[in-house]
Structure 1
Amino acid sequence: MKPTIRTRFALACGGIFLLVGSVLLGGIYFLVRNSLEPRDGLGQPEYIMVPNGYYQRRTPEYEVAVKRVEQTRRIYQRDTLSTLLNVGGFVLVVTGAGAVWFGWWAGRWALRPVQKVTETARRVAQSHDLTERIAYTGPREGVAELADIFDTMLARLARAFDGQRRFVANASHELRTPLTINRTLVDVAVRRPDATEDVRRLGESLLLVNTRHERLIDGLLALAEGEQTVIDRRPFDLTDVVEHVLDQAGAEAEEREVTLHRLLDTTPTAGDPVLLERLVQNLVENAIRHNQAGGEVWVTTRQRAGVAELVVANTGLQVPPYEIETIFEPFRRLHGDRLRSERGSGLGLSIVRAIANAHDGTVTARPREEGGLTITVELLDAPPT
């Protein structure tokens, strides 16, 4: 684990202080050592004055006195230098620890503007409120430039998301309106009393094509919305959404002779209920349509380790493990049934992954040994109220 910037700053302060203090202690050591060395002419003078006269230089008494003085000087020098090193080293270690503490405190003070930027970014990420700004008013230095860049980025993101939301809303209206008109006109033409059999067959074919286009447009818009929408997180029970989707899917499951099994526990989460309803709907419809007559679908919701979990498993054809990741790509289907419009537009699982990612969740799939898939969606648990 790499140390934080504050820790590195504190260690750098302590290291610099120890380095400078060691150099200073070494300099004092050599100065004191040199000052304790005998000066020229002082160690062995020609004569030494005493009360009764002079000691001459080469007498035995003089030599004994010189050796004694030299021994005393060396002992004094050794003790002085040892005391200097011990006391200086202790003071250096203590003050070095103080320098580390001061660096830790100073790092907190120096990084306070950066922490403000971080806290603002965290609030924006959690609340998805792109209108908030750092508005740093300190000295015009690196931190101020970083804050200004972050504010500019937030402003551009806010404009981009607003433009994308407007585009999705306008595209939803502009694309659905002509298809709705076409469906109405074809339906009226087919139901006319004087309509021939050829007209009816042609009208039914056009209605099928129109339905496929509507489904494709709905899928593309849902995919764009899931990838670009800023989620307004609201707490709710995921089980309520799953029960509603299963009630609606009951008729289609009965028509295709597929049995639905519900294993639902209270599963609090937070997010956009409409988008998560679309996620559950796509998973359930995918499990029903990519199944077999007499097949089964198991839908499970549960809460574990702070995670809201949704599991949808179904019977069906064998799925090769190497094709698992491709099923989440747009317009990709298994077993080469790209043109089978009754099974959807090929966007179902792409939309599921986009919506899960928008909620900071994950989607994983694995093949069942008996055939079919098990798809697991993990979402964030609802925050405590």
Structure 2
Amino acid sequence: MTLRARLTLVYGGLFLLAGMLLLGLTYALVSQQFDRRGENSVSCSDASATHTGGSSEDLAKCPATPSAPAGGSAETRTGQKYTSDVTPANLQENKAVEKAQDDALMALLTQGGIALGVVGAAAIGFGWLIAGRVLQPLQRVTDTARRISEAPAADRGLHERIALDGPQDEIKELADTFDVMLTRLDHAFDGQRRFIANASHELRTPLSLNKALLEVAVRGADASPEVRQLGTTLLDINARHERLIDGLLLLARSEAEVAEHAYVDLADVVEHVVDQLPGDTVPDVITTVGEAPTSGNPVLLERLAQNLVENGVRHNVPSGGWVRIGCRAVHDGSVELTVANTGPVIPRYEVPALFEPFRRLGADRLAGTPGSGLGLSIVRAVARAHGGDVRAEPRESGGLVVTVTLPGLALVSVEHGSGSCEQLRQGAGEVREKAYRN
């Protein structure tokens, strides 16, 4: 039940409860007044009364009752004797008065209940409108938070603000605090990305210089075998550092919003990535691809597939291993890219750590396995930048099954307003060829 409905029920319930109490109190007061009049009234207009030991004022206070029939005697509340000649007309009149009083009380309850119901329904309706009016700023805060959480890229949503206008009440204070939090988060994310990008660019220059010096030293005519071997080792280390910096740059870039979308078929991307594998790849690579059209950045999507395939080949068993690669379009309009491989057994609780930057499991880092630990981090960043996601499931016999889900071509066209499917397909071959050359 929504807060608006709960507030409406509280308003309506309190109003109905107050109305019922007021109606009950009115009924009690009117009934008490009728009883007092009945006790203090006596019909003596048609009766002749004689009394002993008292005044006529005492007799006037005594009602005619069936216990004092005509010609009989009775006592007043003061103990004085009187005889009353009460006619049947007097009794009939008293009964008529009592019936009229009962009818009046019943009418009070009936008509009061109807009026209370009508006014209560109106109060509930007004309470619903008032609650909606009061909670409208909260709905605005909720809508903003939902848009930020559902944004494909975090930076696009964090630039949005509520900017609520109105009196300085609790809701205005909540909205302003939320805006301040968004500003700080926005600055934090921007600062993180700028630091990664700047650090990567600054590190690229000395690495390029080291590479040039090492190549000159290794290729020199007077270089000894020891110098050549040392230079080759240092060049391998330098190349690994370059891959690390490239990965950081790509990670910072892929976490940003994908502004321009082009037609991409994951089947073509997978085939191209598999063709780039060395011919002496130890695990058997098995591909089962179907048409999986989507829209996005071709370079980033190719890197996504490349990281998945390289991870499947790199983290495998020494012999008898395999890597299965498949892509397909699913019934809900999205497309899937799945890479499964053999390899060491991975505990299920350690799977989330695979997607963290610079995190590798077990003794991989100590064993000298090539790689920077950014592969799956880049995969997740690219997938989320395209409005998709990635999940990993460990195999019982060892290895991992990684599935990337991306919006299909039709879903991307509707969401981003990037034109029809046919328009996105135009020039697809040229776009893919350009991406592959890059």
TM, length-normalised to structure 1: 0.82
Counterparts of 1:169 and 1:140, CA distance in 2: 41
Counterparts of 1:342 and 1:191, CA distance in 2: 28
Do 2:258 and 2:385's aligned partners in 1 also have CA atoms closer than 8 Å? no
Do 1:137 and 1:144's aligned partners in 2 also have CA atoms closer than 8 Å? yes
Counterparts of 1:120 and 1:371, CA distance in 2: 43
Q: Which runs of 5+ in 1 are unaligned?
A: none
C-alpha displacement of 1:120: 4.2
Do 2:294 and 2:406's aligned partners in 1 also have CA atoms closer than 8 Å? no
Do 2:292 and 2:327's aligned partners in 1 also have CA atoms closer than 8 Å? no
- Counterpart in 2 of 1:243? 268
AA matched with 1:377: V
Equivalent of residue 367 in structure 1, options 385, 394, 397: 394
Do 2:342 and 2:399's aligned partners in 1 also have CA atoms closer than 8 Å? yes
Correspondence 1:138-287 to 2 at 5 A: 138-223=166-251, 229-232=255-258, 235-237=261-263, 239-240=265-266, 243-244=268-269, 246-257=271-282, 258-268=284-294, 274-287=299-312
Counterparts of 1:371 and 1:129, CA distance in 2: 39
2:165 alignment partner, SS class:
coil
Question: What is the number of equivalent residue pairs in this alignment?
Answer: 374
CA-atom RMSD, angstroms?
A: 3.3
Q: Which runs of 5+ in 2 are unaligned?
A: 50-63, 71-84, 418-438
- Counterpart in 2 of 1:22? 20
AA matched with 1:265: E
| Residues 148 and 328 of structure 1: CA distance in aligned 2, closer, same or farther (over 3 Å) | closer
AA matched with 1:314: N
Percent of counterpart pairs with the same letter? 45
Counterparts of 2:210 and 2:107, CA distance in 1: 101
Q: String of CA shifts for 1:235-270, please: whole Å, max 9, x gaps.
A: 555534x63354144232533043241413234366
**Is 1:312 matched up with 2:336?**
no
- Counterpart in 1 of 2:371? 344
C-alpha displacement of 1:164: 2.8
1:336 alignment partner, SS class:
coil
Equivalent of residue 12 in structure 1, options 4, 10, 13: 10
1:37 alignment partner, SS class:
helix
C-alpha displacement of 1:285: 1.0
Do 1:297 and 1:315's aligned partners in 2 also have CA atoms closer than 8 Å? no
- Higher Cα Rg: structure 1 or 2? 2
TM, length-normalised to structure 2: 0.73
1:351 alignment partner, SS class:
helix
AA matched with 2:181: M
Do 2:200 and 2:248's aligned partners in 1 also have CA atoms closer than 8 Å? no
C-alpha displacement of 1:377: 2.2
Counterparts of 2:172 and 2:348, CA distance in 1: 51
Do 2:335 and 2:405's aligned partners in 1 also have CA atoms closer than 8 Å? yes
Do 1:268 and 1:303's aligned partners in 2 also have CA atoms closer than 8 Å? no
| Residues 324 and 164 of structure 1: CA distance in aligned 2, closer, same or farther (over 3 Å) | closer
Do 2:273 and 2:305's aligned partners in 1 also have CA atoms closer than 8 Å? no
